[in-house]
């Protein structure tokens, strides 16, 4: 979303390139709040997988709202994009920064963290080109719907995994 936000704003709302890029300034402003929220959420639930599931859920809700306003409400659309991005940064923090600590007794924290980080970068690279292809061929409505579907899948998978982990404790 971060990569494509200026293109989306320019294509859908015709704000012009400068204003479209300027609107992406909301994302770094949210970064302080989103990391603080993710940390407090983790401290509250005491489980990075549960925190990730909650963040995925919030991301799904934000992307679901975004589906309905993507072409009619610029402010709400930008806000939803910032919220989705913030939630995904929180998930990244939980899965890349916190989850590997579970492997401290085996001495594999760095290995697990490195593998998860590698998959994160691979997914980011693939999505950069994939989102370009989807938006070029099918338009922004389909692209926004795809983001919502991905958030839904992430939500379902994270809750399934959390419940599975909880039942094995």
Q: Dihedral sign for Cα 153, 159, 162, 166, please.
A: negative
Distance CA 144, CA 65 (A): 10
**Whole-model pTM?**
0.90
CB atoms within 10 A of CB 131: 18
Tell me: the pLDDT tens digits for 15-49?
888 887 887 787 877 777 888 999 999 999 999 99
In the chain, what are the domains?
5-168 (1.20.1250.20)
- Token pair for residue 113? 């963290």
Q: Is the pLDDT of residue 84 over 60?
A: yes
Confidence check: pLDDT of 108 > 90: yes
Distance CA 10, CA 108 (A): 45
Contact between 63 and 118 under an 8 Å Cβ cutoff? The reply is no
* Mean pLDDT for all residues in the chain: 91
| Confidence check: pLDDT of 169 > 60 | no
Q: What percent of the chain has pLDDT over 90?
A: 76
Phi, psi of 29 (to 5 degrees): -60, -40
């Amino acid at each position: 979303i971060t990569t494509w936000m200026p293109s989306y704003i320019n294509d859908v709302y015709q704000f012009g390139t400068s204003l479209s890029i300027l609107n992406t300034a909301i994302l770094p402003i949210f970064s302080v709040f989103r990391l603080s929220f993710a940390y407090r959420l983790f401290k509250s639930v005491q489980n990075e997988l549960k925190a990730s599931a909650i963040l995925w859920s919030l991301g799904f809700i934000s992307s679901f709202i975004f589906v309905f306003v993507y072409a009619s409400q610029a402010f709400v659309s930008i806000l939803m994009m910032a919220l989705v991005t913030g939630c995904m940064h929180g998930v990244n923090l939980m899965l890349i920064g916190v989850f590997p600590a579970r492997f401290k007794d085996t001495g594999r924290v760095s290995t697990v963290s490195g593998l998860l980080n590698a998959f994160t970068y691979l997914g980011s690279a693939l999505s950069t080109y994939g989102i370009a292809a989807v938006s070029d061929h099918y338009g922004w409505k389909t692209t926004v719907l795809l983001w919502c579907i991905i958030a839904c899948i992430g939500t379902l998978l994270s809750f399934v995994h959390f419940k599975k982990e909880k039942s094995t404790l």
